[in-house]
Structure 1
Amino acid sequence: MTNTSRYVALGDSFTEGVGDWDPESPNGVRGWADRVAEQLVLADPSWEYANLAIRGKKMRQILDEQIDAALALEPTLVTVYAGANDILRPRIDIDLLMSRYDDGIARLRASGADVVLFTGFDASGSAVFGRTRGRTAVYNEWVREIADRRGATIVDYWRLREFQDWGYWDVDRMHMSAAGHTLMAVRVLEAMKASHRIGLPELEARPALRRAEQLRADAQWAREYLSPWVGRRLRGVSSGDDLQPKYPVPGHPLRASVTA
């Protein structure tokens, strides 16, 4: 066993960092997990970080492709959020899905790693994704039960009501913005009871749109983001099919702006 503390992040676009666009980062995104890792390193330089998350991955893919890879890295800490892409599918056996999730979390905990889990977001404010609210509520109860049974820490995304502000979301209305990822990093570190130097982001005021303006904005969003998203699912392809993990090899990348 290594004496190095090691944080390994698992999951899909949420953990990869989609929405927090950054051309200097691998895959063009930064994200809350990178920000959490930076704070861990600032507090203790012995920390290393790997991020195996890839956008578009469903639960089974995350369990099959990322759990063993994470265990091979001998993690001290693992964060994992999986299942959001399954919930959005037309059909889902959520009990079977979450039973497999429980098995995966059990394996991570058996390694001695601390594990942080997430409930799903309350999408009641979305006319499209709000339809999955009931599924997400069932998913969340499973996550809470798994966290209790396995001794995992939980970040209760559903109850983080500040994320109901659209200022924390990217223009695609599906992923958090840079401000959202920054806020999530703060909430994760708080759940872990870890120190940090992240300031809460200030949101720009957004002018209220008239009904005609809102309809035009919704139509443009549907053309540019919703239709391509639906099309990929109908074709059985993912935006992450040609991507590799951002940080498959543990290290401690720190930005100059963080260390300054």
Structure 2
Amino acid sequence: MPGDDTLYRRYVALGDSQTEGVGDGDDASGLRGFADRLAEELARHEPSLQYANLAVRGRLAAQVHAEQLAPALALRPDLATVVAGVNDLLRPRFDADEVAGHLEAMFAALTAQGAHVATITVPDLARISPLARPLVPRVTALNQRIRQAARRHGVAVAETALHPVAGDIRMWSSDRLHASSLGHQRIAAALAHALRLPGSDDTWTHPLPPAPLATGWRTATTELRWLAGFLGPWLVRRLQGRSSGDGRTAKRPHLLPVQPDGSTPSRADTH
């Protein structure tokens, strides 16, 4: 585990849509996301920081392992984040040991090369959507294995699964699959705290101010809109064997300087 005085100069993010930043901005104006936010925080302490983001939306843990690990190792990071597995949770066939095995292989390879590695646990999806209750045992099993693998390799874990605020609907975008801008901000703060960055603390765990209570009719309408607007199209893609990441590449495949003022270059700026 790094100490408070550790400075990072090369940060590489591996993962899927959460790491890419879906839910924090859009494809037209650019995505930010927790990895960009964490890079900006790191740059406040080390202005020479360079940052690459290899994540691609829709990727399963096996695909992150197969497609992103080798490029990440080639960049020789001294810090890496590895966040994947939620797309696996949503598939009909899910094997917690297999998914965690891919995560652990990435933990092992990166730490063996000398990188500090950080990851997160998966929040209770049933608190975000009642329809996700059948996934709770899968989430529990995956989180247990993430923690075990992390202990074996000295990986820092941001325990988003343990704090009720992670289930606050305001922390999630309208599709309920990706964090909102506020959610990405809290994930970045959780990782900074797990890494013991200077100035980090546990305020990311604090609850949000009370929200107005929704009526039963309003709740039902919201559920129907979500089913039609997000879950339905997602199921259609699965049945057709398509992914939201088809044809996409990493938004930031090379190590580039970071501006600590929130103006980290987007995909359009890096090509």
TM-score normalised by length of structure 2: 0.86
Q: Give yes or no for the alignment of 1:218 onto 2:220.
A: no
Aligned pairs (5 A) from 1:110-125: 110-125=112-127
Conserved 8 A contact 1:39-1:195: no
SS at match of 2:125: coil
Conserved 8 A contact 1:39-1:197: no
Counterpart position of 1:105: 107
Counterpart position of 1:41: 43
Question: Deviation string for 1:110-141 (max 9, x for gaps)?
Answer: 11100112211211212122211101111111
Displacement after TM superposition at 1:34 (Å) = 0.3
Counterpart position of 2:58: 56
Displacement after TM superposition at 1:255 (Å) = 6.2
Displacement after TM superposition at 1:218 (Å) = 1.0
Displacement after TM superposition at 1:242 (Å) = 2.1
Displacement after TM superposition at 1:197 (Å) = 8.3
SS at match of 1:120: coil
- Counterpart of 2:238, as a letter, is R
Gaps in structure 1 of 5+ consecutive residues = none
Counterpart position of 1:159: 162
Conserved 8 A contact 1:16-1:246: yes
Q: CA RMSD in A?
A: 2.4
Q: Compare 173-182 and 124-133 and name the one that shifted more.
A: 124-133
Displacement after TM superposition at 1:258 (Å) = 6.8
1-side partners of 2:101 and 2:189: how far apart?
30
1-side partners of 2:96 and 2:176: how far apart?
24
Question: Deviation string for 1:46-92 (max 9, x for gaps)?
Answer: 21100001111001100000000100001100100111111111112
Q: Compare 91-100 and 53-62 and name the one that shifted more.
A: 91-100
Counterpart position of 1:17: 21
- Counterpart of 2:78, as a letter, is T
Counterpart position of 1:66: 68
1-side partners of 2:209 and 2:249: how far apart?
34
SS at match of 1:128: helix
2-side partners of 1:93 and 1:165: how far apart?
28
Identity of matched residues, %: 38
1-side partners of 2:80 and 2:192: how far apart?
13
Conserved 8 A contact 2:96-2:145: no
Counterpart position of 1:240: 245
Counterpart position of 2:3: none
Gaps in structure 2 of 5+ consecutive residues = 1-7, 265-271
Conserved 8 A contact 1:18-1:176: yes
SS at match of 2:19: helix
Partner residue of 2:138 out of 110, 114, 135: 135
Conserved 8 A contact 1:51-1:248: yes
1-side partners of 2:101 and 2:148: how far apart?
11
Counterpart position of 1:178: 181
Q: Compare 15-24 and 65-74 and name the one that shifted more.
A: 15-24
Count of matched residue pairs: 254
Given the superposition, is the C-alpha separation of residues 153 and 227 from structure 1 closer, same or farther in structure 2, using an over 3 Å criterion?
A: same
1-side partners of 2:225 and 2:261: how far apart?
37
Partner residue of 2:33 out of 31, 34, 58: 31
